[in-house]
Structure 1
Amino acid sequence: MRELFIKQKVFSLKEKFTVKDAEQNDVYYVEGSFMKIPKSFTIMNAAREEIGLVTKKVFSFLPKFSVEVDGHEVITIKKELSFLKARYSIEAAGIDVRGNWWDMDFQIFQRGEVIGEVSKKWFTWGDSYKVQIMKEEMEKTLIALVVAIDCVKADQAATSSASTT
């Protein structure tokens, strides 16, 4: 099992952050597109080669995010029509997310087997998550999924704050 840690910087205009291992070595770099449409997050490995891309779809009735890993779309997260509370669905071939992903406390299953767990670290400056990876060949997909969920949460928070002002 491998543990990775995502810590976002609170005051980063370009939305850059890193994914570190247990020894605090940078494993992945994540960079958000600054003032671009569509909004996207590029995930790069330690050699700064792109391994993943999270993109918010522009021409969609309800918010929709696509996740690519190694150039292939593997996950779609979309908002469902709901009147009381924001509701999202995650579509991925053979992957199921169970738990409270809105609070970043969930497990990721592939064909019934746990392949990853995510937990939010509380009382930290900025958002911090621990990602436990049980199936190492799924590491890039799991990191891309966590970044995508965090992107969905940030988009929902921005939408909520805009509608209350």
Structure 2
Amino acid sequence: MRSFEIKQKLWSLAGKFDIKDETGQLAYHVQGSFLKFLKEFTISDSQGQFVSHIKHHFSFPFQRFTVTFAHGKQITIQQRFSLLKAKYDISDFGLEVAGDIWNMNFSLLDQGREVASIHQEWFKIASTYHVDIYDDSLADLVISLVIAIDYVKAIESSSSSASS
């Protein structure tokens, strides 16, 4: 099992931050694009090796992202219509999302078996997430998914506050 803490820097315009493991050591580095209309993120490991690239695509009226991994696998996160709150489909992911994805309190299941849990820590100035991964081989996939979902939440928050 591996545990990670994702703590975003509140004032980082580009979306640049580090992800630490359970020992407090650097595990991943996230670099967001700066001043791009459709934001992109590149995730690298502690040695600077490419892990994944997250790209926001123009898709009216719903948000769509692709996550491309170093080994070539690609997943798509697509917003779908819902009257109450945002719902998302994750294609070619191979895992089931169970729980409250919008409030970042969910688990990832592989054939009914929990392989990761994600929880947002509330009452912090910056977004802070705790990620426990029970299958180490899924670490890159899970970390990339959490970064993509967090960005989707940020877009949704800014669009709902702009319309108020």
Two-structure CA RMSD over aligned residues (Å): 1.6
Runs of at least 5 residues in structure 2 that lack an aligned partner in the other structure = none
Q: What secondary structure, in the 3-state scheme, does the structure 2 residue paired with 1:130 have?
A: strand
1:2-61 deviation digits (Å, cap 9, x = unpaired) = 111100011111111111012211110011111124311111111222211111112554
Q: What secondary structure, in the 3-state scheme, does the structure 1 residue paired with 2:13 have?
A: coil
1:124-159 deviation digits (Å, cap 9, x = unpaired) = 230111110100011100100111110110111122
**1:58 aligns to what?**
58
Q: Residue 94 of structure 1 contacts residue 111 of structure 1 at CA under 8 Å; is this kept in 2?
A: no
1:85-128 deviation digits (Å, cap 9, x = unpaired) = 33322223421110001111110012222111111112223011
Q: What secondary structure, in the 3-state scheme, does the structure 1 residue paired with 2:131 have?
A: strand
Aligned pair in 2 of structure 1 residues 163, 72: CA closer, same or farther (>3 Å)? farther
Q: Residue 75 of structure 1 contacts residue 145 of structure 1 at CA under 8 Å; is this kept in 2?
A: no
Q: What secondary structure, in the 3-state scheme, does the structure 1 residue paired with 2:85 have?
A: coil
Residue 40, structure 1, aligned to residue 40, structure 2: yes
Q: Distance in 2 between the 1:84 and 1:132 partners?
A: 29
**2:16 aligns to what?**
16
| Larger deviation, residues 129-138 vs 42-51 | 42-51
Q: Distance in 1 between the 2:40 and 2:119 partners?
A: 23
Aligned pair in 2 of structure 1 residues 9, 93: CA closer, same or farther (>3 Å)? closer
Q: What secondary structure, in the 3-state scheme, does the structure 2 residue paired with 1:3 have?
A: strand
Q: What secondary structure, in the 3-state scheme, does the structure 2 residue paired with 1:147 have?
A: helix
TM-score (norm 2): 0.91
Q: Distance in 1 between the 2:41 and 2:59 partners?
A: 18
**How far did residue 77 of structure 1 move?**
1.3
Q: What secondary structure, in the 3-state scheme, does the structure 1 residue paired with 2:102 have?
A: helix
- Identity within the alignment, %: 35
Q: How many residues align?
A: 164
**1:124 aligns to what?**
124
